[in-house]
């Protein structure tokens, strides 16, 4: 007798194997996305800090001793850090993106998943730091973004 198709048992076996692989792979992809957002955030923070220092050096050469102020650091909520970065960061309320909380106070959020991590620029000493919010997960992300 000639066999031209798969048996029902063979098809069920393949479906079970694919289900097991999917159960293992899907959680790994979610963790990879969070790791990628943290890496992007770390890179952005390093770029912002470097740009603030570079702007400070330029001001010192000109004889100005003040750090860049909050309003000059970002000109609006749609273009963040355009006062120091060559290409500004577009503000967006989505995971893996920056948005302004209060530009005049130098406060910005970086969103990882559903968690907002608060950063603050202090124009008196030129520091751009992560502010712990005592909310558990945000504190954990804070240390991952700046350490």
Cβ(100)–Cβ(106) below 8 Å: no
The answer on pLDDT for 4 being more than 80 is no
pLDDT interval class at 28 (50, 70, 90): confident
The answer on pLDDT for 135 being more than 90 is no
CA distances from 99 to 32, 92, 116, 137 (A): 23, 5, 10, 19
Average pLDDT over residues 51-56: 94
pLDDT tens-digit profile of 56-97?
A: 999 999 999 989 999 889 987 788 999 999 999 999 999 999
pLDDT interval class at 113 (50, 70, 90): confident
Q: How far apart are the first and last CA of the chain?
A: 68
pLDDT tens-digit profile of 15-25?
A: 999 999 888 88
Higher pLDDT, 86 or 139: 86
pLDDT at 1: 65
Q: Per-domain residue ranges for the chain?
A: 8-146
Query: For a pLDDT cut of 70, what percent of the chain falls above it?
Result: 93
User: How confident is the prediction for the chain on average, in pLDDT?
Assistant: 88
The answer on pLDDT for 128 being more than 90 is yes
CA distances from 132 to 34, 36, 122, 141 (A): 19, 21, 15, 9
pLDDT at 110: 94
Q: Is 116 exposed, middle or buried, given 0-12, 13-18 or 19+ CB atoms closer than 10 A?
A: middle
Reported residue count of the chain is 147
């Amino acid at each position: 007798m000639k066999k031209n198709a798969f048996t029902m048992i063979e098809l069920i076996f393949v479906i079970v194997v694919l289900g097991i692989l999917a159960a293992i792979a899907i959680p790994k992809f979610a963790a990879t996305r969070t790791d990628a957002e943290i890496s992007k955030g770390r890179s952005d923070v390093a770029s912002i800090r470097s740009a603030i220092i570079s702007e400070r050096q330029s001001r010192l050469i000109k004889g100005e001793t003040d750090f860049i102020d909050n309003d000059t650091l970002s000109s609006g909520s749609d273009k963040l850090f355009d006062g120091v970065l060559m290409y500004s960061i577009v503000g967006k309320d989505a995971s893996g993106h920056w948005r302004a909380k209060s530009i005049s106070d130098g406060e910005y959020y970086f969103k990882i998943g559903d968690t907002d991590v608060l950063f603050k620029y202090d124009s008196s000493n030129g520091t751009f730091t992560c502010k712990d919010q005592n909310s558990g997960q945000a504190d954990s992300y804070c240390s991952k973004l700046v350490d």
